A and B are shown apart, each in its own frame.
Chain A
Amino acid sequence: MEETVRYAEATGLLGSVWLLVAIPLVSAAILLLLGRRADRWGHWLGVAAIGAAFVLGLTYFFQLRGLENKSVEQSLWQFISVGDFKVDFGLLFDPLAAVFVLLITGVGFLIHLYAVEYMAHDEGRRRFFAYFNLFVAAMLLLVLGNNYVMLYFGWEGVGLASYLLISFWYGRPSAATAGKKAFLMNRVGDAGLAIGIFVMFATLGTTQYDEVFNGVGALTGTTVLVLGLLLLLGAAGKSGQFPLQAWLPDAMEGPTPVSALIHAATMVTAGVYLIARSNPIFSANHTLQLVVVSVGALTLLMGCLIGAAKDDIKRVLAWSTVSQIGYMFLGVGLGGGAYALAIVHLLAHGFFKANMFLGAGSVMHGMNDQVDIRRFGNLSKYMKATWLTFMMGWLAIIGMFPFSGFFSKEPIIVAAFEREGWTAWLFGGAALLGAGLTAFYMTRLFVLTFHGPARWTEDIEHPHESPKLMTIPLVLLAIGSVGAGFLLATSVPDWLQATGGLGGQEEGHEAVLAHWLITALSLLVTVLGAGLAWALFRTGTATAPQPAGVLVTAARRNLYTDAVNEAVFEKPGIFLTRALVFLDNRGVDGLVNGLAAAVGGGSGRLRRLQTGFVRSYATSILTGALLVVAAFLAVQAGWLA
């Protein structure tokens, strides 16, 4: 078997990579175990832990740059050893992991800072930071593991943290329900990932990345397809992609920093990470790539359509997240060099989406937790810092030159046009249309929030700008939104080259359109979409729900996906559980109870034989003796042979 993926042993400073996971984990444990005693200083411990992890991550990053083989592996201990099944508790630090570590700890640190102020008046702030650090630890484990079981470990860890944080205000029924919904839909995806890992073990006998990737060439096409589809199901669940997208917008019930870090910048991109990491599997089968691309394209359009019809500022952002991750899936599905493009978009998105979520949080902070964009307007006068930083995020996400979204999104659109034959038109067209729609609904959000006439509720007299601790992270993230794209797009693909299979230039097809034409078209649709939205919403909007046509009504109802889920899964599921409960009560329990009653009754009757009289005991022994002797003689006579 040809070894294409080879990892080096971690030496020197890189031998302590495990600290990245350990520091947030220990801080989470301290915060949870100390309880109220840590209330006064707990949040600072949380911030410090993530800050330390970021500094460490940077150090490791520079170490890694100097190495020949940029993939270092560290096996800490044997985690599972049952028969042939061996799983190391091992970490892998390579370029892909490195950029994720920097994103998670860097953006995480800024959001932590913001959250100190945002959660200042919440009684559960210490608990919040404990969960938050638990999340960071799990997310780092997810991207640092050197095998699929470690990844699964982190995968479940972030799922747990996400559940705890979505339903952080568990007193609100909507938050509790959203937490459950997220948990359940994630389980569907997680089951896919788990079965995928089983398939891996059954066919390859290992779950270590290097062994799996080196062995995948020996598998049949069908096995690779099944394996890839299972991994894709897991990825779709975690990243809110079709058909498992419905939980993500509901997850906005959690505190805004959670939405920013977990449900925009990091955790939801775990699916993209999984596919990028497993690129040798996905590259091995063209059907598989087609499925990934289709899921990406479909989801990105769905996200845009629904995002355009929503009035809740966080939900619009959530649907835009769904849509942007659709772009990333499109990228990783295209294979070859587009893997790196997807990762670039993921990183850029991490900055500008976190920026906008924190901006939205800042707006809510100043508007008594109002989330309805029809009730905002004219806030640019009152919240200068929020307005300007949000503007950077807005320009970035719609892909305006020279903001970061332009440099990260446009190459994906170009790559989509480089496919073979009609699929180039289909996916390229979808990506282009998505760009226009994104410009439309994000502009609508921006204009309705910050411009036009004020449509505030009566209780607000003078919206206030948020304190420094909230605006400083906003400014830093805004700088990222402006500059990150260009820097990332020029450096990251080369950097990722060293990761097995990533960034390798496939001798792609010629694009069906000239490169400059695609760029011009995407800028054109962006300007058109933004201009249309500006023209429509410049003067504000009605504060009451408006009657709408078929498409908008459908979009308001999430394109009826919830209804489909309800009809296809929930109703039959409820029926099935009821039927099972009935069967259990009447059938199984009946049988068990019947047996128990029979045993008890028999016992009660047999007890009467135990009379306490020696004479009846002697009779019992005599009867038994006669029977045994008779039986022995019957054996001797051959009757019982």
Chain B
Amino acid sequence: MTELKLPSIDYAALAPILIMLGVALVGVLVEAFVPRRLRNTVQLTLALAAVLGALTMVILNSDDRLLTAGQAIAVDGPTLFLQGAILVLAAMALLLIGERSIERGGAFVAHAAVTAESPDDRRQAEGASGTTEVYPLATFAIGGMLIFVAANDLLTMFIALEVFSLPLYLLCALARRRRLLSQEAAMKYFMLGAYASAFFLFGVALIYGFTSGIPGRTAGVDFATVHAAVTDSPASPVLLFAGMALLAIGLLFKAAAAPFHVWTPDVYQGAPTPVTGFMAACTKVAAFGALLRVFHVAFSGAAWDFTPVLGAVAVLTMLVGAVLAVTQTDIKRLLAYSSIANAGYLLVGVLAPSKDGLSGTMFYLVAYGLSVLAAFAVVTLVRDADGEATHLSRWAGLGRRSPFFAAIFTFLLLAFAGIPLTSGFMSKVAVFGAAWASGNAWLVVAGVVTSMVLAFPYLRVVVMMWLSEPGDATPTVTVPGALTSAALVIGVLATLVLGVAPAPLLDLANGAAEFVR
């Protein structure tokens, strides 16, 4: 029997993860022991404090370049950058989740077990205080994402995937209004997520098989072993490539790339809007962080042979996102397709096997996350007596009713369309430039063409807001509470600042763009 050796653990390097998971556990206890009327305040404070504490630790760790916990966790430039990004975006998302002044009781259902459309349901919709379990759930999800982008072996990565996915499935089901839609979204997300997880796990198994039999090494799914196996494994490379494909499918599902995007519109539409924003921003960062690490660290020896295949996926993703966005009639579905198209642009960055590609993708993730959270924040504000008015026809003439918020939303849409002086332009330049330099000109061409197509639905909304007469059906824009205002200000300012002076963040991303092995 071999002797068990305890792996050395660098607690400081793991601190952000430990803080998030620890506070999530405390949050569960809060649910049990703190009086109901205090819970929301306590939970929100706890969650925000955890995020800020973790962010502080990330900043303090910013010079760490190490492997810890028995090579299971890599704390290096990309990890720290992406963890920082997730935490900043999560803080914004928590502000939206915690908002209680726009709708009485918040955006979440008071009692998740109440039958939808029943008299009880209507009563809870009238203003009962929303459930506070959302905070520990969100905190768990954030913790999972932090592990996901740091995971240095495939099993850790899988665990992290499940840790952040399961709370998200639940969160999707917790909308206060249109609960059937919300529950349906959660159900679909859960089933398809499980399906995708199976692909991922199958891929892990095949790769484990592939790594066995290397002279002088034991089989394993840590990235160092996989990397070594890619160059000198005696096993059939069919195992490697099939495993890689299945692994990629699991990750592309989370990243919402076509044809694994099918869940996105339904889930984005059904989920409570703050959760949609959370998924659009943070899940995207986590999924692409993992993709970057897998391809740059574990499989880089496969010489990027798979670029044409994933390039085809990227082109398909951009096309599907852009073309289907054209005929959407619901603002949340429109943003969902926009998010799909953006996954395509991000893939273009991932497929540039250079430092610029890596830093450009990371920049894109931050810039897009900030803008998309601000956009969903505006969506939470446009409402009538039945909650959010998400049908596009209801937005007609909004520019006359509330020129300020219509202007903000216009600015954000222009950022999504990649108009200069917005962060959207700079991030597209960053990833397309890297792709062009790596010889993937065809991806850049597809990216530019689909960007043009995608500009149409954005501008259609702009035209609708400003050039249509407001009708009786035009909803009003609720004055946002302090929390939403804060999130909105951060998002809009960041979109502007990153468009005008992107250099500091680009430098930061450049400095961080190196993986440890």
Say whether B237 contacts A636, CB under 8 Å. yes
1/0 per residue B247-271: CB within 8 Å of A?
0110001000011101101100000
Stretch at the interface among A76-84, A93-101, A402-410, A609-617: A609-617
Interface status of B490 (Cβ within 8 A of chain A): no
- Which of A603, A606, A607, A614 is the one whose CB lies under 8 Å from B188? A614
Q: Identify which of residues 271-312 in chain A touch chain B, using a CB-to-CB cut-off of 8 Å.
A: none
In the complex, are the beta carbons of B192 and A628 less than 8 A apart? no
Would you call A632 and B242 a contact (CB within 8 A)?
Answer: yes
**Distance of B25 from chain A, by nearest CB (Å):** 33
Q: Which of B73-81, B123-131, B302-310, B503-511 contacts A (4 or more CB under 8 A)?
A: B302-310
A606 proximity list for chain B (CB < 8 A): 320, 323-324
A614 touches B192 (CB 8 A): yes
CB-nearest residue of chain A relative to B190? A614
Partner among A610, A628, A633 whose Cβ is within 8 Å of the Cβ of B238: A633
Residue B327 at the chain A interface, CB threshold 8 Å:
yes
Contact between B326 and A603, CB atoms less than 8 A apart = yes
- Give Cα A123 to B386, complex, Å: 56
Taking CB atoms, residues of chain A closer than 8 Å to B242 are 629, 632-633
Q: What's the nearest-Cβ distance from chain A to residue B417, in Å?
A: 15
Contact across chains for B259 and A604 when beta carbons are under 8 A apart: no
Q: Does A602 contact B (CB under 8 A)?
A: yes
A628, B324: Cβ atoms under 8 Å?
no
Query: For chain B residues 305-332, which have a beta carbon within 8 Å of chain A?
Result: 305-306, 308-309, 312-313, 320, 323-327
Instruction: State the CA gap A623–B242 with chains docked (Å).
Output: 15
> Beyond A614-B187, A614-B191, is A600–B308 a contact (Cβ under 8 Å)?
no
B window 201-259: CB within 8 A of A: 237-238, 240-242, 244-246, 248-249, 253, 258-259
CA–CA, A143 to B259, complex, Å? 67
User: Among the listed B241, B249, B265, B453, which residue makes an inter-chain contact with A625, where contact means beta carbons less than 8 Å apart?
Assistant: B249
A606-B323, A618-B192 known; A632-B244 Cβ under 8 A: yes
The docked-state distance in angstroms from the alpha carbon of A623 to that of B258 is: 11
Question: Which residues of chain A from 73 to 121 have any CB-CB distance to chain B below 8 Å in the complex?
Answer: none
The reply to whether B324 and A600 form a contact with Cβ atoms under 8 Å apart is: no
Tell yes or no: B363 within 8 A of A by CB: no
Let me know if A620 is at the binding interface, CB within 8 A.
Answer: yes
Q: Are B262 and A620 in contact (CB under 8 A)?
A: yes
Chain A contributes a number of interface residues (CB within 8 A of B) equal to 28
Report whether A618 and B244 are in contact in the complex, using a CB–CB cutoff of 8 Å.
no
Q: Does A607 contact B327, Cβ atoms closer than 8 Å?
A: yes
| Distance, CA A177 to CA B262, complexed state (A) | 61
Q: Let me know if B286 is at the binding interface, CB within 8 A.
A: no
Least CB distance, B187 to chain A, in whole angstroms: 7
- Cα A32 to Cα B339 with chains together (Å): 48
- A479 CA to B517 CA in the complex, in Å? 94
Known: A614-B187, A621-B262. A632 touches B241 (CB 8 A): yes
Contact with B along A626-641 (1 / 0, CB 8 A): 0011011101100011
Residue of A with least CB distance to B239 = A636
Evaluate contact between A603 and B324: CB separation under 8 angstroms. Answer: yes
A31 to B174, CA, bound (A): 62
Contact in complex: A599, B453 (CB < 8 Å): yes
- Complex CA–CA separation, A614 to B190 (angstroms): 10
> Is A624 on the interface with B (CB-CB < 8 A)?
yes
Cβ contact within 8 Å between A635 and B266: no
Assess whether B169 is interfacial by the CB under 8 Å rule: no
With a cutoff of 8 Å between Cβ atoms, the chain B residues found around residue A624 in the complex are 249, 258-260
- Nearest CB of chain B from residue A381's CB, rounded to whole Å: 66
Q: Verify B266–A612 contact, CB threshold 8 A.
A: yes
A596 within 8 A of B: yes
> Are A599 and B309 also in contact (CB < 8 A) when A617-B262, A625-B249 are?
no
CB-based nearest B residue for A604: B327
CA distance A58 to B305 in the complex (A): 80
Contact B195 A610 (CB under 8 A): no
A631's nearest neighbour on chain B, judged by CB, is: B309
Cα distance, A620 to B266, chains bound together (Å): 15
Q: How far is the CA of A403 from the CA of B305 in the complex (A)?
A: 92
Q: Which residues of A contact B195 (CB under 8 A)?
A: 618, 621
Are A629 and B188 touching (Cβ within 8 A)? no
Rounded to whole angstroms, the CA-CA distance of A604 and B329 in the bound complex is 12
Cα-based distance from A607 to B308 in the complex (angstroms): 27
Q: How far is the CA of A612 from the CA of B184 in the complex (A)?
A: 10
Partner of B262, one of A599, A610, A629: A610
Which of A617, A623, A629 contacts B192 (CB under 8 A)? Answer: A617
In this complex, what residue of A is CB-closest to B188?
A: A614
The docked-state distance in angstroms from the alpha carbon of A618 to that of B253 is 11
**Which partner residue on chain A sits nearest B310 by CB separation?**
A628
- A621 to B192, Cβ gap below 8 A? yes
The answer to whether B238 and A636 touch across the interface, beta carbons within 8 angstroms, is yes
Contacts of B246 in A (CB 8 A): 625, 629
For residue A637, give the distance in angstroms from its CB to the closest CB of chain B: 8
Which of A602, A603, A625 touches B199 (beta carbons < 8 Å)?
Answer: A625
**In this complex, what residue of A is CB-closest to B253?**
A621
With contacts A618-B192, A621-B192 known, is A628 near B313, CB below 8 A? yes
Q: How far is the CB of B464 from chain A (nearest CB, A)?
A: 16
Collect the chain B residues with CB atoms within 8 Å of residue A636's CB: 237-238, 240-241, 305
A629/B327 in contact, CB under 8 A: no
Assess whether B263 is in contact with A617, with CB atoms less than 8 Å apart: yes
Give chain A residues whose Cβ lies under 8 Å from the Cβ of B199: 625
Looking at the assembled complex, report how far the CB atom of B332 sits from the nearest CB atom of chain A, in whole angstroms.
14
Find the A residue at minimum CB distance from B203: A629
Pick the residue among A599, A602, A632 that contacts B306 (CB under 8 A).
A632
B456 interface residue per 8 A CB criterion = yes
A125 to B262, CA, bound (A): 68
> Which of B188, B241, B263 touches A633 (beta carbons < 8 Å)?
B241
Identify the closest chain B residue to A609 (Cβ): B262
Of B188, B246, B305, B327, most buried by chain A (CB within 10 Å of CB) is: B327
Q: How far is the CB of A413 from chain B (nearest CB, A)?
A: 59
Measured between beta carbons, the chain A residues less than 8 angstroms from B323 are: 599, 602-603, 606
Residues of chain B with a CB closer than 8 A to A632's CB: 241-242, 244-245, 306, 309
Q: Given contact pairs A610-B324, A614-B192, A625-B246, enumerate 15 new A-B contacts (beta carbons under 8 Å).
A: A596-B456, A599-B326, A603-B326, A606-B320, A606-B323, A617-B262, A620-B259, A625-B249, A629-B246, A631-B245, A631-B308, A632-B244, A633-B242, A636-B240, A636-B305
Return the 4 tightest CB-CB contacts between A and B, nearest first: A624-B259, A632-B245, A636-B241, A617-B262
17 contacts between A and B (CB under 8 A): A603-B325, A603-B327, A607-B327, A610-B262, A612-B266, A614-B191, A616-B262, A621-B259, A621-B260, A624-B249, A624-B258, A624-B260, A632-B245, A633-B241, A635-B241, A635-B309, A641-B305
